[in-house]
Chains A and B, each alone.
Chain A
Amino acid sequence: MSEEKEMITGMEAPMYLTYNFTAGGATTRFLAELRNGKLVGQECPKCQHVYIPPRGSCAACGVPTVREVELTNKATVQSFTIVYIPIPNNPIKPPYVIANLMADGAHQSFLHLISDVDNADVRIGMRVEAIWKAEEEWTHAMENIQYFRPLDEPDMPIDEIGRLKNA
């Protein structure tokens, strides 16, 4: 046996899973509107909770969320993290800020990038707005929005973020 030769210490074991992803009815409606440059949530007819991205039914009431609600480009930072570790094949250079954002009128947050601001200045309650890509680049994807950037507005108090008005 060959002790003098270089020992194998590692092996590549890549794994690729090939799917056909089907969006389903509710997500299709959401993505179709994103293709038109609109952020559209769906409202529960019972508790008025607005879901974005919508999943087609209210998690609390168990009823279909058939009514669509167009949201503005404004949102509030609900929580955030600063990413320092590079992810392979991700073109965004760390450190960058990923935030849970609560769109105005919505009660469910979604993840997106925050930019045009020092990472150290990002805070919970900060008001931000969506910066969309050029219209000809729009597809059925959340990446139609390049990132969110700060608005010149006072912060929203933490206990008001995403709360129903009369709840």
Chain B
Amino acid sequence: MQHIEFDTKWTMVVDIDKCTGCGACMVSCQAENNIAPMEQGSNKLKTLTWLLVYELNNGKDFPNREVAYLPRPCMQCGHPACVPVCPVVATTKDEEGGIVSQIYPRCIGCRYCMAACPYHARYFGWLDPVWPGGMDKALSPTTSTRPRGVVEKCNFCHSRLLNARERARNEGMDPNKLPDGWYKPACLEGCPTGAISFGDSKNPEHKVHELIKDPNAFRILESIGMEPQVYYISRRDWVREQSDNHLAEDKH
């Protein structure tokens, strides 16, 4: 499949050295995107966690042990594994900005996309969503809720992009050239340490344009060639080494 490029490339950069693993991004994401709380939350493998924070460690024992936290949204891959496999075009990457969309009313719930995505970024609605105790009154009005039986995933809070574009139109600006900081996903806003940056990596006026050139910036699984639009930064070698599978002989 050919690699799709647009003039705008919405990009997230996460500074792992700043992330404390507090999980505020996860909570912001749940609230923003109307993800129903699990009735039985003990089975972590059946939850809907569009953004998941992984714990990494350097493999050493105390007192030399170090940990790092890696938040993982959907990577909005430039060469997504999930898109070509979907039998019904429920997921596509065709909008300016390169966000991989998910059309819930079209998804048949075959879960082929979940099998294809090595980042485990896709989640299936295993059970009916239940909104306990009047929680339904606090749902985000701009985001749809999903029935059970469809696959969902992070879309960089797409509704916020639509809002930002509308604001630009109202102010007589080009909706396809948003100024830095006009479009912010919920996880970024929720993050207390400022570990998350977001913007158009093709626009030199956006901070992420420079950030992704940082010598310590990396993406996960570069060798498979999926061209993620999510970058990570860490000044620690052992963290960067866990970004991809390296054979013993080419470990640096």
Does chain A bind chain B?
no
